[in-house]
Amino acid sequence: MVGTAPQNTGEDGVDAGVGLTALLVAAARAIETYRPDSLARDVYAEHFVRAAPACAAWPVRTHQVPDGDGNPLWGRFARYFGLRTRVLDDFLLDSVRAGARQVVLFGAGLDTRAFRLDWPPDCVVYEIDREGVLEFKHKVLAEVSAAPKAARVTVPVDLRAGWVAALTDAGFDTAAPSAWLAEGLLFYLPSAAETYLIDMVDRLSTPGSALAYEVKLEKDLLEYRDSPLYTATRQQIGIDLLHLFDKGPRPDSAGDLAGRGWSTSVHTPFEFTHRHGRGPLPEQNDALEGNRWVFAHKTRP
């Protein structure tokens, strides 16, 4: 994913729980890539899916999806991931145009932004994730001769461990503006880990830095257990997302940032559906109802 990704637990680097969510997002990006009205293109995404035997039967093209866009998983949910990819691509590119030259991807998973986006020549992209995840990604990308479009630095560390020291040891400059991204990640982390991540981003960021991340409104997640999105994900590919999400109370990270000199804005995905003219719209018993995309810019020390 982005966020949660394959662990080094088998020959293909994929475990049966959180690891498959990375490949779910990769499959969705592959499908989005080949839509005639695609919002985001990732030509590498399908190769990750095909490299993992557990996902060999998953679709990577729209014509392979039963019921097409009527399929809650590979239609509507995949459209959501395509929209999210485009919005966060735009955020990062806008951030580097504004002066950031360091990009940090938390839980980078199968994110290929270092390879597919057009970065300034002096930009550095740091990818933080478990060693097994990064090894899996490296193997697949090497097989298709993928070349990064920016200086790419991998930081093999679990986010629940000492990632700050690992990042600075890898060359991250705490005196330079940076763009940070936690895509599809915080759902899975305990509240304390989210608080620590936000606190460290603030400490490591100079004015001119930016951060984007995704959260869910704090409410009873089990209320959506029968949502078509979660039901289809369980039935079609055996991933119980609600089981993987952390059930504890969530911190008000946006409010915390605002109190530390960041300007913040919180949006529903549906706002961007209207902006781009395609993507998911609200429906009954909607698992996406509580999703929020948060954008923050540091304006003062």
- Token pair for 168: 């600075």
The pLDDT-based confidence of 17 (bands split at 50, 70, 90) is very low
- What is the residue whose two structure tokens read 């460290």? 200
The sign of the torsion formed by the CA atoms of 90, 93, 96, 102 equals positive
pLDDT of 239 over the 90 cut: yes
User: Which has more confidence, 280 or 220?
Assistant: 280
Percent of residues, the chain, with pLDDT higher than 70:
93
How far apart CA 99 and CA 116 sit, in angstroms, is 20
What confidence category does residue 139 fall into, taking pLDDT thresholds of 50, 70 and 90?
very high
The Cα 55–Cα 9 span in angstroms is 15
For the stretch 61-79, pLDDT in tens is 999 998 888 999 999 999 9
Reported confidence tier of residue 146, pLDDT bands at 50, 70, 90 = very high
Least reliable range by pLDDT among 8-17, 34-43, 133-142, 216-225? 8-17
15 pLDDT above the threshold of 60: no
Contact 8, 130 (CB under 8 A): yes
Confidence at 12, pLDDT banded by 50, 70, 90: very low
**How many other C-beta atoms lie within 10 A of the C-beta of residue 144?**
12
Angle between helices 18-33 and 78-97 (to 10 degrees): 80
Q: How confident is the model at residue 115 (pLDDT cuts 50, 70, 90)?
A: very high
Q: What is the band of 5 on the pLDDT scale with cuts at 50, 70, 90?
A: very low
What confidence score (pLDDT) does residue 220 get?
A: 66
Bigger pLDDT: 115 or 224? Answer: 115
Q: Cα–chain-centroid distance for residue 199?
A: 20
Q: Enter the tokens of residue 65.
A: 């999806």
In the structure, what pLDDT confidence band is assigned to residue 161 with cuts at 50, 70 and 90? confident
Least Cα distance to 75 among 26, 31, 23 occurs for 31
pLDDT in tens, 23-67: 999 999 999 999 999 999 999 999 999 999 989 899 999 999 988
pLDDT reading at 6 higher than 60: no
Mean pLDDT taken over the chain: 92
Q: Which residues of 31-66 are buried (b: 16+ CB within 10 A; e: fewer)?
A: bbbebeebbbbbebbbbbbbbbebbeebbbebeebe
Instruction: Assess contact for 247 and 264: CB atoms under 8 A.
Output: no
pLDDT digits (tens, 9 = 90+) for 78-94: 999 999 999 999 999 99
Whether residue 219 is predicted with pLDDT greater than 80 in this model: the reply is: no
CA-closest candidate to residue 148, choices 106, 113, 111, 175: 113
Please tell me the predicted confidence (pLDDT) of residue 13.
45
Average pLDDT value for residue range 121-130: 96
Nearest to 176 by CA among 201, 206, 199: 206
pLDDT higher than 70, residue 206: yes
Percent residues over pLDDT 90 in the chain: 83
- Domains of the chain as residue ranges with CATH: 18-298 (3.40.50.150)
The pTM assigned to this predicted structure is: 0.93
* Res 138 pLDDT > 70: yes
Q: Which backbone phi and psi does 180 adopt, to 5 degrees?
A: -115, 145
Instruction: Write the DSSP string, the chain.
Output: --SS---S-STTS--SSHHHHHHHHHHHHHHHHTSTT-S---TTHHHHHHH-GGGTTS--SGGGSTTGGGSIIIIIIHHHHHHHHHHHHHHHHHHHHTT--EEEEET-TT--HHHHS---TT-EEEEEE-HHHHHHHHHHHHHTT---SSEEEEEE--TTS-HHHHHHHTT--TTS-EEEEE-S-GGGS-HHHHHHHHHHHHHH--TT-EEEEEEE-SS-GGGGTT-HHHHHHHHHH---HHHHS--SPPP-HHHHHHTTTEEEEEE-HHHHHHHHT-S----TT-TTTTEEEEEEEE---
